[in-house]
Structure 1
Amino acid sequence: MGNQRTLNLRFLAEPADVNFGGKVHGGAVMKWIDLAGYACAAGWSGRYCVTAYVGGIRFVSPIHVGNLVEVEARVIYTGRSSMHIDINVLACDPKSGDRRQTTHCILIMVAVDESGHPVSIPEWVPETEEDIQLKDTAIKLMDMRKQISDEMAILFGDRT
């Protein structure tokens, strides 16, 4: 199954996923994002993968119990052992089929061996103009994360 770049998970939002306000809680959505990111990264690399980063998460609209939820994941950049995964969460009433975006973010997953050490993965090479733009965006976001990390180290000191 290696080198599968995209993955879609589909399921119904259940009552156990709801917060006190009657909508699916963010923690449930983040779990779904992590599951789709893992499956996508493992499908691309053919390896066990761990989450290294979740960023830019935006909760755009609520998900309700009974909504059909679709979590779309796709590789948009690869490093030596890491994969940047674009995640888009959509929801709809299964009776109407009108899909709407509910959440979006970027995940970075790292392929590891049995000892937990990073291992090399196949490179993803963009082929379309959209893919080139996605890769360029991933690179810009990496630079921004580095700047944020540097600022956080200044503010809070190195706590590693």
Structure 2
Amino acid sequence: MPGQQHEVTFRFLAQPTDVNFGGKVHGGMAMKWIDQAGYACAVGWSGAYCVTASVSGIQFVAPILIGDLVSVHARLIHTGTSSMHLAVDVMACDLREGGQRLATRCVMVFVALDAADGKPTPVPAWQPHDEEDRRLQALARRLTDLSKAVENEVFTSATPGG
């Protein structure tokens, strides 16, 4: 039922096929996991097919190693008419030593699309429940403003072929 599921956590082990030549999970794999968890959270909230509109402020804080238990947590932090802003944290844990560490963090925006015509479709409104929710919602709004400013700058100052 739309408007029920506002957070999702994926858990799995980092595998040898996930790593780069340096033996650490490569950024593209982490971004794939982020997109998958974000998609599951957005669809769970909206009840509609969703597409990624943007990823903001992605930070690779610590490496993820083969055999680490990886947790990808996506959490709804703001809704627009058809958009959903999600905070996503990727945590890694060496199972032998214990203790989780933040590996990657970002904010993403998904847009819900109507199944019939593929146009943006309304999503249930989300309201913050506590101070942390309000802080994250304010972050989502600031990132939206910054993103619009950057987009405007890029499109007004860019010259073709230049």
- State whether TM-score is above 0.5: yes
- Counterpart of 2:140 (choices 138, 144, 147) is 138
Contact 2:54 2:108 in 1 (8 A): yes
Deviation of the 1:157 alpha carbon: 4.6
Unaligned stretches of 5+ in structure 2?
A: none
CA distance in 2, matches of 1:145, 1:133: 18
CA distance in 2, matches of 1:29, 1:73: 13
Root mean square deviation of aligned Cα: 1.2
Equivalenced residue count is 158
CA distance in 2, matches of 1:94, 1:34: 25
Residue deviations 1:84-120 (CA, integer Å, cap 9, x gap): 0100000011233210000000110011112321100
TM-score by length of 2: 0.94
Unaligned stretches of 5+ in structure 1?
A: none
Instruction: Report the AA paired with residue 11 of structure 2.
Output: R
Residue matched to 2:65: 64
Q: Kindly, what percent of the aligned residue pairs are identical?
A: 53
CA distance in 1, matches of 2:156, 2:103: 34
Instruction: Report the AA paired with residue 153 of structure 2.
Output: E
Instruction: Report the AA paired with residue 23 of structure 2.
Output: G
Deviation of the 1:55 alpha carbon: 1.3
| Secondary structure of 1:10's aligned partner | strand
Instruction: Report the AA paired with residue 133 of structure 2.
Output: D
Instruction: Report the AA paired with residue 137 of structure 1.
Output: L
Residue matched to 2:151: 149
CA distance in 1, matches of 2:59, 2:73: 15
Contact 2:85 2:140 in 1 (8 A): yes
TM-score by length of 1: 0.95
| Secondary structure of 1:95's aligned partner | coil
Residue matched to 2:7: 6
CA distance in 1, matches of 2:37, 2:126: 18
Contact 2:92 2:100 in 1 (8 A): yes
Runs (4+) of structure 1 exceeding 6 A deviation are: none
